[in-house]
Structure 1
């Protein structure tokens, strides 16, 4: 089943994020991870629009600058209301046209392969609402909804169970998929490296 025309909301802290990662320039690493994630989403075939929610002005400028590089979906930046992850996602979702297929994706997937996102969106098109658990199976990396279906984010610790309890369908995505490998710790970053990091993140770690 095809899944054309998805709008994907990506909440990003930018340089203030990833406090648990040890790196000489943690702020730049956090920005690199976010930009690699956004770039991968922009290269997915089923993505028609990307909405980045951030309070990081420098990151917003870089997102807008990158949006002009080659054929890409429409990219917009929405201000972060500064209430945490779920309010940020909610702010992005309010900017989505009601007739759109909508998804929200974490901004810390530096190894994301566009084809893995496309696979998930194709599967999500068969459900009113769906989610993808993280590699550990307890968190969530993606939620998605068809036009007209409510999409209320419940990200954070234990979010996979919360999304399941709320009636989201769990998509059958392998645990080894790059879509499930979010990064909050050094061990998770090493696991992501095994999947192939995006160019900005890879350059910093090299």
Structure 2
């Protein structure tokens, strides 16, 4: 999971009376907590240069932090994390974006179960143009192409679009206040709720 330093994250997410950096960090922490609670996830690796995030994540079990280093952009950060844990592709791997404040472990597990049947998989965001999760099976070379319009790029790289319901919390990433409201309707994680309620 790549996570930008909170001071630079979520530049389009403006909520009156809420510090953007605090909200971005809370969203990332709720996403991390849900991922680690998923029964099909063996290890969650966080690639970040945000030291505050690492300290606040101390209460979340089984996280491994990898320094972002010279990585530039989501795909470079993800490649850094993959190289740190499994450069030879000896196990299934997945990249999950860190902006899913409503994520439920069962929704992530359903996508990972589906991903077991394809060499590469991708989950579309709620708008149907971006991606929230990309997977690669054992022995399959890792590649990803996150960013605006990434779903089409991932499909062109050989990713099968997984059949995840529209209402899945795995599809509800948050970059804007409107998207945050949509995620709120699904139920936000406790850290995000706390920041919004402060």
Q: Which residue of 2 aligns with 1:78?
A: 66
Mapped to 1, the partners of 2:63 and 2:113 lie a distance apart of 21
Do residues 12 (structure 1) and 3 (structure 2) align?
yes
Identify the match of residue 52 of structure 1 among 42, 46, 54.
Answer: 46
C-alpha RMSD of matched pairs (Å): 1.1
Mapped to 2, the partners of 1:56 and 1:66 lie a distance apart of 16
Q: Which residue of 2 aligns with 1:101?
A: 92
CA contact (8 A) 2:71 2:80 kept: no
Q: CA deviation at 1:153?
A: 1.0
Displaced runs of 4 or more, over 4 A = none
Mapped to 1, the partners of 2:124 and 2:157 lie a distance apart of 14
Q: Which residue of 1 aligns with 2:161?
A: 170
Q: CA deviation at 1:96?
A: 2.1
Mapped to 2, the partners of 1:158 and 1:144 lie a distance apart of 17
Q: CA deviation at 1:39?
A: 0.2
Do residues 62 (structure 1) and 56 (structure 2) align?
yes
Question: TM-score when scaled to structure 2?
Answer: 0.93
Q: Which stretches in structure 1 are left out of the alignment for 5+ residues?
A: 1-9
Mapped to 2, the partners of 1:96 and 1:137 lie a distance apart of 30
Q: Which stretches in structure 2 are left out of the alignment for 5+ residues?
A: none
Question: TM-score when scaled to structure 1?
Answer: 0.90
